[in-house]
Each structure stands twice: as C-alpha cells, then as structure tokens.
Amino acid sequence: MFGFGKKWTDESGHRKPGPFGPYYLHELINSGGMADIWLATDSAQNHCAIRCLRNDHRLDFKARRRFIRGCEILAHIEKHEFIIGYIGHGKIEGCHYLATEYVEGANLKLLMAQNDPILAEFAGNILIDMAIGLEHVHQSGYMHMDFKPENVMVSRNANVRLIDFDLAMPRPESPRRLSGNPGTPAYMSPEQLQRQPVDHRADIFAFGVTAYEFLTFQKPFPGETAAEVLARQLDRGSGFRNPTELNTAIPPALERIVLKCIETEPDKRYPYMSVVVRDLESALYV
C-alpha cells in the first residue's frame, strides 16, 4: 500500500520518466533532501515542475507531514510574481506531489558557486525582489523559516521566485517557542539557535545573512556546527567583517541595511520586511 510500484521506479527507488496521473514526467532536474523535482507537462502540454516526495521517505511521517504542510501553505499564499506559482498538490500512485510553475534557471546558491555574470548585472533587482517576495509571505500570514540562497530561484532573465515552504509556519502575533528546530544553522537567527521564542524577524535575519553572502560570497557567521555559528553570532569581535571589507563596491547605505537585518537582538533588527524593501529601494535608487 506504500510507495511506487516497481514499474515506475529504477533500482535506486527514483521514479522513471513517464505518465504520472494527468502529468507526464520528462526529466529529473533536481534531487535532494526529501524530494525529487521533475520537468513535466500537463494534459494541455503546458510545462510545469512536479516535486515528488522521495520513495525512501514514504515511511518518514515527519518528512511527509512537512511536505504536505509546505504544499498547503503555498496554496494559501496569494499569488505573487516573486513566489513560485502554485498549480496543485495531492497524491498520485502513492506518491505525494506538488505541481508548480516551471522556472528555467537555477537557485541562487548554484549561481553564486558558478559566479554567474547575471548576479553582478542584476544584483540590485535580485536583492529587492527577494525582499518583496519575503514581505509578501509575511503579509500572507506566514513565516518562511528556511530562507537561504538554495531556496531562491533565479531565471535566465533574473526573475526571482521563492521556493520550498516545507518549514514555513503561521506568523504569530508575538514571539513563540517552536516545538522543533529545523532549518539550516548558517541562516538561523540567534534566538532560534538558542531555542528562544521567535517571530517573523527570524526570517529578516535569514534575509540579511543571504544578502551578506550574495554581496560578498562569504557567510557572515561561518561554522561547521550550530554551536559554532551561534558563537560567532554572539561574539561579533571574533573575526566578524563588515560587508564592505570584503567587497568595496557595496554602497554604505546597503551595508547598513544588511547589518541591521543581522543584529543579534530581534528588537534591533528591522521590524518588518516592508521597511527593508523601502530602504533597499532608496539605497539602490530604484
């Protein structure tokens, strides 16, 4: 009763190209974490992306719950140009899936690793569009909770889409303690790493870390473990470098925005992403 029939999977358990309910899976374009992502077409031959929960996670109830919750949250977020377009989700042939628009491009992490020229050409647009997208998530009543370069898709003409809402959750009226602590430590706020109550300002911190890395190609708080990352966050005197020390082309006003986003104390950060957007547009003359 669980998983795919052998007819539809290869020896490693990955689904093969072919029919998938009303869709046709053409090419596996990414595989990692708990899901595979396919380039597909629907019954009208429109391109889309199909994200399938991997077969080896079919009995991982926590992973399955996160996957389904991410689908449901994306479905509830009002359509926006900087959020991946939702088409539908459900279960086909025992496989939980999410259908979204297909974006021809790569995630920001990969583009940074390749030092893609598009980053320098459209740096300001990418920063502002990421901020606007995250602002929309918050205004829709949610926190992303896994904002990082890997979860920012950038198309070939530099259009941005925020993706992967598996860790997203409703935005609380006041900071609250989380029952779990999933995420990527390098982008997590000090209060989250210390298991203290959090709110949307944890996302603002993650945006600041992402912006710092995007502008300098270095993480502000490097570390191999969550404890190492936290130690660097709490002790800014131990090797912390301002962005302009690593990239002199960064405008001082933009540096101030990034540094305000990554303040250790939540109350010293920006209160809302809308204010970040306003200051970014001012600093970058948009």
Q: Token pair of 97, please? A: 């899936």
Give the pLDDT confidence score for residue 3 in this predicted structure: 33
Q: How far apart are CA 201 and CA 110, in angstroms?
A: 26
Q: How far apart are CA 84 and CA 285, in angstroms?
A: 27
Q: Are the C-beta atoms of 171 and 138 separated by less than 8 Å?
A: yes
Q: What angle do CA 250, 251, 255 make, to 5 degrees?
A: 75
To 10 degrees, the CA torsion angle through 181, 186, 190, 195?
A: 10
Q: How far apart are CA 145 and CA 166, in angstroms?
A: 9
pLDDT digits (tens, 9 = 90+) for 221-235: 999 999 999 999 999
Q: Are the C-beta atoms of 261 and 273 separated by less than 8 Å?
A: no
> What end-to-end distance do the CA atoms of the chain give, in Å?
55
What is the chain's length?
286
CATH of segment(s) 105-283: 1.10.510.10
Q: Are the C-beta atoms of 99 and 113 separated by less than 8 Å?
A: no
In CATH, which of 1.10.10.920, 3.30.750.24, 3.40.50.720, 3.30.200.20 is domain 6-100?
3.30.200.20
Q: How far apart are CA 134 and CA 187, in angstroms?
A: 15
pLDDT digits (tens, 9 = 90+) for 74-127: 999 999 999 999 999 999 988 999 999 999 999 999 999 999 999 999 999 999
pLDDT digits (tens, 9 = 90+) for 118-140: 999 999 999 999 999 999 999 99
- pTM score: 0.92
The runs of H, that is alpha helices, within 36-122 are 61-76, 108-113, 117-121
Confidence of residue 238 (pLDDT cuts 50, 70, 90): low
Closest CA to 171 of 189, 192, 190, 145: 145
Per-domain residue ranges for the chain? 6-100, 105-283
pLDDT digits (tens, 9 = 90+) for 17-75: 999 999 999 999 988 778 999 999 999 999 999 999 987 766 678 889 999 999 999 99
Confidence of residue 181 (pLDDT cuts 50, 70, 90): confident
